[in-house]
Structure 1
Amino acid sequence: MPKRAALLAAVALTLTACTSTPEKPTVAQGGEDFGKATQLSNGFGTTQKPGEFPRTVKHAMGETKLEKKPERVIVLDTGELDNVVALGIKPVGIAYTDGSPTMPSYIGEKGGTPENVGTTNNLNLEAITKLNPDLILGSQLRAEALYPKLSAIAPTVFSVRPGYVWKENFLLNAAALDRQADAAKMLEDYTNKAVETGAAIEKKLGVRPTVTALRFMPGRIRLYAKKSFIGTILVDAKIPQPSPSQVDDLAAEVSAEEIGKADADFVVYSTYGDPAKTAQASVLGGPLWSGLNAVKGGKAKPVQDETYFLGLGVLAANVVLDDLKKQLGA
């Protein structure tokens, strides 16, 4: 039996049908290395020339050798999904988030019909093995403890974490897929679009309005800040956030009684998962919410969680820019 086939068979025999990732927060806020993700990502990628295989890819868990250009790719989070689809690849397997367990509508048919391999917090290693992947893409934050088992199944490349380092993650994934030039061009186009979007909004409104990105989650309410996906988009478009959201972190957490901190010229808000499991209904139906200037002015708008907060890639970022123009009336 060939060495790889024997290894896959051994892995399949030793894995339970569903293996849970050791408990970690759905989104890691703060922490010792949170603000270092960009620095830690420096040097990730490959020194091989386009089209050159085998190639070695440096990433968050070390180095991974790819013998050939990957064709059967499994993605373990929404950022990796966005990245591979942007590069013209339909993954064979996917781990969805608990709060959004289906193909994002903004990706739709472009994502194909990948097999479900569990969720980001509860990977099914047997399902991953059966798909016979030749590349697994994920992050250290989500599945660090499972990396040895995943890399025994197929070459595995991990970013440090999802979120505000989405551009670095895109380039890392592209290095493994031999599509670095395509990714670089997409990021350049995105940057230009962000600048143009901010300018169009300012031209229409006469000012760059402040925008709060508010998210209701089970047990918490967040004002997303600079080191978040939506935060980076607002920064790139030079659209300011009000002071409560200007922390150098993922988000500022507030209570229902502190919802006044969400006030801005515009508020965009969404819910992670089932709204009934969050404080959304009580907050939106309460007097503090109705007293916000943005609400009184008709400038508090619901948005898609799957793009503004879960997209984590260039496709979602472009959708968010288009939607921001719409929501802000530009």
Structure 2
Amino acid sequence: MPLLPRRGTAAAALALATALSLTACGGSSDDGEASPSAGAGNKKDVAKGGKDFADAAKKTAAMGTDAEPGEWPRTVTHAMGKTEIKTQPKRVVVLDVGELDNVVSLGIEPVGLAPTEGSPELPSYLKKDSGNPKNVGTINNLNLEAIAALKPDLILGSQLRAADKYDELSQIAPTVFSVRPGFTWKENYLLNAAALDKTAQAKEKLAAYEEKADALGEKLGDDKPTVSMVRFMPDGVIRLYANASFIGTILKDSGIPRPENQDIEDLAAEISAENIDQADADYIFTGVYGDPKATDKSKAQGNPLWKNLDAVKAGHAYDVPDETWYLGLGVTAADEVLADLEQHLTK
């Protein structure tokens, strides 16, 4: 399945195996890229490297189908093997917000959704078009009985989230898994579209996104401001999101530069409230995973070091919606992020 040309291919290749290795460390947060507490005791877990990155990226890019538009049954190659889908799916269950974003953007109202632990409600930016999907557990705690009761004809998820449930899910309905959510969101979108016979629409949406990203980059000109991405996690973890993340791909697509400590081919660097000065840039955008009171946001922003940051003193530090900037993981969320960036960076 051919992909649209993508910037930062090397970055994406580098970080894919990072995320896969993090899976072995146990659990996954709502962004699909390590557990909220995984880095607290071992910051190296967030930034592992390895020689298998390129092979893992190629695996993601090779997924899809050779079926012609309108051709059924069709066989889809995905992270767990091959799945035959006999007819056009009408009752789709999605196991993550990325898949929810994907199917809703293609005009489909899913019958079931596994929301995130950090944001258990239906994302507000998708409510208007997503119908009323039934809750089937959470991304890390699926309710197989609830899924089966919906009588789906297609289940969409990821190997990172639910590899151990794949066999059981496949007994319920044809199941198609991406390798992982996150920075591979464009490939995942095309994979989901292939299973739904919506490839042409998905490519149009991605092309429109690319045009918006290019337009923002041109509007900002040659002297673009640096942007720092700060996300407050539970247990005192603070992440500075880097290139191999969902938001990292959007910033790269727009040509927006990063501070040196975030211009790295990993998911994120991790800091604490005591060294929040490492978050400085021309602009700072902050997100919060789950309940802000369970994080060190207030502690970090009460630190004199925070108040002395260039972005803070200039009035260029903004809170942004976690549900789009970090949890959205799809083209609709990406469009929302671009709109937010344009609003703040072109005032």
TM-score (norm 2): 0.86
Q: Residue 217 of structure 1 corresponds to which residue in structure 2?
A: 233
Q: Are 2:111 and 1:92 equivalent residues in the alignment?
A: yes
For the residue of structure 1 that corresponds to 2:256, the secondary structure is coil
276, 285, 296: which one aligns with 1:279: 296
Q: Are 2:99 and 1:80 equivalent residues in the alignment?
A: yes
Distance in 2 between residues matched to 1:107 and 1:265, nearest whole Å: 31
Alignment check: 8 A CA contact 2:47 2:269 kept: no
Distance in 1 between residues matched to 2:344 and 2:206, nearest whole Å: 23
Q: CA RMSD in A?
A: 1.5
Q: Are 2:241 and 1:238 equivalent residues in the alignment?
A: no
Alignment check: 8 A CA contact 1:37 1:161 kept: no
Q: Residue 208 of structure 1 corresponds to which residue in structure 2?
A: 224
Distance in 2 between residues matched to 1:283 and 1:292, nearest whole Å: 12
Question: What is the count of residue pairs matched by the alignment?
Answer: 306
Gaps of 5+ in 1: 1-21
For the residue of structure 2 that corresponds to 1:136, the secondary structure is strand
Distance in 2 between residues matched to 1:185 and 1:34, nearest whole Å: 28
Q: Residue 24 of structure 1 corresponds to which residue in structure 2?
A: 27
TM-score (norm 1): 0.90
172, 175, 178: which one aligns with 1:159: 178
Q: Cα deviations across residues 224-250 of structure 1 (Å, max 9, x unaligned)?
A: 110100000000000011001011011
For the residue of structure 2 that corresponds to 1:195, the secondary structure is helix
For the residue of structure 2 that corresponds to 1:40, the secondary structure is helix
Distance in 2 between residues matched to 1:134 and 1:75, nearest whole Å: 11
Q: Residue 39 of structure 2 corresponds to which residue in structure 1?
A: none
AA aligned opposite 1:135: L
274, 277, 292: which one aligns with 1:260: 277
AA aligned opposite 1:213: M
For the residue of structure 2 that corresponds to 1:162, the secondary structure is coil
Distance in 1 between residues matched to 2:85 and 2:225, nearest whole Å: 47
Q: Are 2:69 and 1:50 equivalent residues in the alignment?
A: yes
Distance in 1 between residues matched to 2:211 and 2:132, nearest whole Å: 32
Alignment check: 8 A CA contact 1:198 1:237 kept: yes
AA aligned opposite 1:24: G
Q: Within 5 A, what are the aligned runs for 1:1-330?
A: 24-26=27-29, 27-28=33-34, 29-30=46-47, 37-202=56-221, 207-219=223-235, 220-330=237-347
AA aligned opposite 1:184: K
Alignment check: 8 A CA contact 1:64 1:156 kept: yes
Distance in 2 between residues matched to 1:74 and 1:111, nearest whole Å: 12
* 1:172–1:132 CA distance, 2 compared to 1 (3 A): same
For the residue of structure 2 that corresponds to 1:111, the secondary structure is coil
Q: Cα deviations across residues 179-225 of structure 1 (Å, max 9, x unaligned)?
A: 001101111110011000111123xxx72100011100102110111
Q: Residue 4 of structure 2 corresponds to which residue in structure 1?
A: none
Alignment check: 8 A CA contact 1:56 1:63 kept: yes
Distance in 2 between residues matched to 1:96 and 1:62, nearest whole Å: 25
* 1:36–1:269 CA distance, 2 compared to 1 (3 A): farther
Q: Which structure is larger by alpha-carbon Rg, 1 or 2?
A: 1
Distance in 1 between residues matched to 2:292 and 2:53, nearest whole Å: 28
For the residue of structure 1 that corresponds to 2:28, the secondary structure is coil
Shift of 1:30: 4.5
For the residue of structure 1 that corresponds to 2:212, the secondary structure is helix
Alignment check: 8 A CA contact 1:38 1:168 kept: no
Alignment check: 8 A CA contact 1:37 1:165 kept: no
Shift of 1:23: 5.0
Alignment check: 8 A CA contact 2:273 2:303 kept: no
Q: Residue 7 of structure 1 corresponds to which residue in structure 2?
A: none
